[in-house]
Structure 1
Amino acid sequence: MRARHGPPGSQAGTAGACREARTATYALPMGIDVRNEIRDFLSSRRARLTPEQVGMPSFGGGVRRVPGLRRHEVAMLAGVSVDYYTRLERGSLKGVSDSVLEGLASALQLDEDERVHLWDLTRLANSGVKTMHRNVPTRVRPGVQRLLDAITGAPAWVRNERGDVVATNELGRALYSPMFAGPGRPVNTARFTFLDPAAREFFPDWAQTAKDAVAVLRAAAVSNPCEPGLITLVGELSTRSEEFRGWWAAHDVRLQRTGKKRISHPIVGELQLVFEALDLVADPGLTMFSYSAEPGSESERSLALLGSWAATERAERYAALRESESESESVD
C-alpha cells in the first residue's frame, strides 16, 4: 500500500539495476518497456467503458465491433485534443501536466489504486527506468517483531511489496499454516496462491484471491520496476501458471488496504475475517496485516480455538526441545 498519488517526479536509485535483473532465471513478461506499459494500461481502461457509463449517446444501437470508448470520446471527456490523447495512449507521458493527468483519470473513471498506478507510470516515463529501483526489505526491526508478538488475540504478519512474509505472530503463522508448511523460503503469498495446490482449498474464493494477488504485483512492478526479486517472481509465475499470465495481461492494479477474507482452515474449518493493512512508515516497503472476526460470530470462536491449538503446538515443541537437550547432556 502506498501514499495517495501526487505529481510526477524523479526517484533516486541504483543505476543499471534493470540490466542486472535481466540475467535472472525468469524474465519479467512486461519487460521494462514503459511505453508498452502505458499503452496497455490506458487502452485496457478505455476498453472497459461504454458511452452510457460516461453519459454520452451511443450510436448504432449500442453494439460496437470493438468494445469500449473511442479515442476521440476519451479526448473530449479529458479536455484534450484527439491527437494529444492518441500520443498519450501510445505511451508518451513525458512532460504531461498534473491537470492533464487528472482529466485523463476522470475520463477513464480510474479508482484510487488506478490513479496511483497512472502517477507511477508517469514518474517512470519522466525519470527513466534505470533510476526506478529501491531495495525491498527482507526482515523487520526487533521493535516490529515485539509489536507483532504483543498482538495475541489476532493473526498479524508483515510482508514486503513482492509478497514475501518477513515476520508474523504466533496466531498469524497458525492461520496461514498451509503456506508455511511448504519448503520454499521466503514464504511468498503469490507463489503459494498460484503454485501450491493446497491454496485452492485454503481459499474458497481462490479466483478472486488470485486476481487480487496479480493486481498487487502489477502495481508493485511499476512502482519498483527494476527490483530483481520482483522481476524473478513475476517471471516464474508467468512461466508456471497460465492463469497468472492471463490476469497479468488484464493490467488491473490494486493496493490492499482493507477487505474480507474467507479461509478454509485445516484445523478449525471456515473463517470469515476482515483484514486491515497498515504501512510501516519507518520501514518503507513493509506493510502489516491484521485479521479479526465479527464479535460473537462462529469465526471469532474458531479464531480462539486456533489460538489454543497454536499455544499447544508451541508447548509441545518446547517440551520436545527440552527433552532433546536433556538427552544431549546425558550423553556428554
Structure 2
Amino acid sequence: MDHRSDVREFLSTRRARLTPDQAGLPAYRGHRRVPGLRREEVALLSGVSVDYYTRLERGDLGGVSDSVLDSLARALQLDEAETAHLFDLARTANASPIARKPRKRAETLRPSIQRLLDAVTEAPAIVRNSYFDYVGANRLGRALYAPVFADPAPNSARFAFLNPAAREFYPDWDKNTQELVAAMRSEAGRNPYDKRLSDLVGELSTRSDRFRTLWAAHNVRFHRSGTKRLHHPVVGDLELDYEAFELPADPGLHLSTYTAEPGTPSADALRLLASWAADAPEMRPEAAAREP
C-alpha cells in the first residue's frame, strides 16, 4: 500500500464531499471546478496556509502537529473513525524505520477465550482477527455463519466478495460490503506495514471489481455495534443487533455477539437455529439445504 497515495486520496475525498454551505462558508457565484471545497477553503478553515495544506494533501504528513491534525479534522468534519485514521496516517509518516515493523497481532484463539465462547449459550458469538479470519465461535455462532464456516479457513472478506452465496446470505450486501471495506481501511491505517493484510487487499482488488471500487473510496469506520440482516439457509430471515469488543490481551482479536429483540420473529428464528445447531454439529450449508 502506497502511504503518500493513501494520504492524498483520503484528504481529497473528504474535501470533495463537503460543500461551502455545509462548511459555513459563503457560496460564491460562478462555476466551481471541484465538487466540494477548494484547497484554499480547507486551509482557511484549518488555520494554515494554502501552501502548507497543499503539501499535506500531496501526501506529506511528516512533522505535522497534533493541533494541526485536530484543526484539519474539524475543518473536514471528520467523524471519530476518520479522525483516528488521519492520526494513524500521520503516525506512519513520522515513524522511524524501526517503528515501521508490523505490530504484533494475535491470530489464533487462546483456550480460555474458546471456553468463554462456549459458556455463551443463548447468543451467537464469534471472534475474528485483523485479517478478518473467523478464528473461533460458539456453537450458535458457527451455526449462524454456517455458509462462511463451510470454508476450512473462514474469512469474512473473501466470503463477502468472492463467494456468490454472499449476496443471498446478506440481504443488505451493498451496505455490508461498504462497511466491511471501511473496517479493513481502518485496520490498514493502524497497521500499514502488515504484509499479510496488504496481500489480502491485493487479492481482493484483483479478483473483485466491487472491492476495488470501495477500497478506492477511502471510507473508514469502527465496527462496534449495529444491526445486521441475514438470510440463513435453515431458519430464513434474521435481524440481529451486534456488539463488537476488542480483546485487550490479544491485540487484533475482536469478539462479536448477536442478539434478537425479544418477542420478534428473529428471536423465534434464533431459538430454532439453536435447536438445529444442537442436532447438526457439522452445520455445513449442504446439510442445511436438506433441512425441512
Same-fold status (TM-score > 0.5): yes
Match of 1:228 among 182, 195, 201: 195
Equivalent residue letter for 2:211: F
Deviation of the 1:204 alpha carbon: 0.3
- The 1-side partners of 2:43 and 2:249 are apart by 41
Q: Measured at CA, do residues 315 and 38 of structure 1 come closer, stay the same or move farther in structure 2, by a change above 3 Å?
A: closer
- The 2-side partners of 1:236 and 1:34 are apart by 19
Partner residue of 2:214? 247
Q: Measured at CA, do residues 108 and 316 of structure 1 come closer, stay the same or move farther in structure 2, by a change above 3 Å?
A: closer
Partner residue of 1:52? 21
Partner residue of 1:11? none
Q: Output one character per residue of 1:42-76: Cα deviation in whole Å (capped at 9) or x when no partner.
A: 01100010001111111126x53321100111011
- The 2-side partners of 1:316 and 1:157 are apart by 15
- The 1-side partners of 2:274 and 2:128 are apart by 21
Query: What fraction of aligned residue pairs are identical, expressed as a percent?
Result: 59
Equivalent residue letter for 2:75: A
Question: TM-score scaled to structure 2, two decimals?
Answer: 0.93
Equivalent residue letter for 2:123: A
Deviation of the 1:315 alpha carbon: 9.7
Higher RCO (Cα < 8 Å, 6 or more apart): 1
Q: Output one character per residue of 1:242-266: Cα deviation in whole Å (capped at 9) or x when no partner.
A: 1111110000011201011000111
Q: Output one character per residue of 1:211-249: Cα deviation in whole Å (capped at 9) or x when no partner.
A: 111111111112112222211111110000011111100
Partner residue of 2:133? 164
- The answer as to 2:283 corresponding to 1:296 is no
Partner residue of 1:265? 232
Q: Which runs of 5+ in 2 are unaligned?
A: 285-292
Partner residue of 2:94? 126
Q: Measured at CA, do residues 242 and 125 of structure 1 come closer, stay the same or move farther in structure 2, by a change above 3 Å?
A: same
Greater displacement, 145-154 / 217-226:
217-226
- The 1-side partners of 2:283 and 2:41 are apart by 66
CA contact (8 A) 1:95 1:126 kept: yes
Runs of 4+ aligned structure 1 residues displaced above 4 Å come to none
Q: Output one character per residue of 1:127-174: Cα deviation in whole Å (capped at 9) or x when no partner.
A: 057614123322111111011000000000110122111110000000
- The 2-side partners of 1:74 and 1:308 are apart by 57
Deviation of the 1:94 alpha carbon: 1.1
Q: Measured at CA, do residues 64 and 188 of structure 1 come closer, stay the same or move farther in structure 2, by a change above 3 Å?
A: same
Question: TM-score scaled to structure 1, two decimals?
Answer: 0.82
CA contact (8 A) 1:258 1:274 kept: yes
- The answer as to 2:274 corresponding to 1:307 is yes
Partner residue of 2:46? 78
CA contact (8 A) 2:104 2:251 kept: no
SS of aligned partner of 2:280: helix
Partner residue of 1:177? 146
Partner residue of 1:94? 62
CA contact (8 A) 2:105 2:250 kept: no
- The 1-side partners of 2:40 and 2:263 are apart by 55
SS of aligned partner of 2:34: coil
Partner residue of 1:136? 105
Q: Which runs of 5+ in 1 are unaligned?
A: 1-30, 318-332
SS of aligned partner of 1:158: strand
Greater displacement, 160-169 / 52-61:
52-61
Equivalent residue letter for 1:248: W
CA contact (8 A) 1:262 1:271 kept: yes
SS of aligned partner of 1:262: strand
Aligned residues: 283
- The answer as to 2:246 corresponding to 1:279 is yes
CA contact (8 A) 1:129 1:226 kept: no
SS of aligned partner of 2:160: helix
- The 1-side partners of 2:280 and 2:14 are apart by 49
Partner residue of 2:32? 64
SS of aligned partner of 2:52: helix
- The answer as to 2:87 corresponding to 1:115 is no
Deviation of the 1:123 alpha carbon: 0.6
CA contact (8 A) 1:135 1:227 kept: no
- The 1-side partners of 2:188 and 2:109 are apart by 22
Cα RMSD (Å) of the superposition? 1.7
Instruction: Look at both structures and tell me which one has the larger radius of gyration over its CA atoms.
Output: 1
- The answer as to 2:204 corresponding to 1:237 is yes
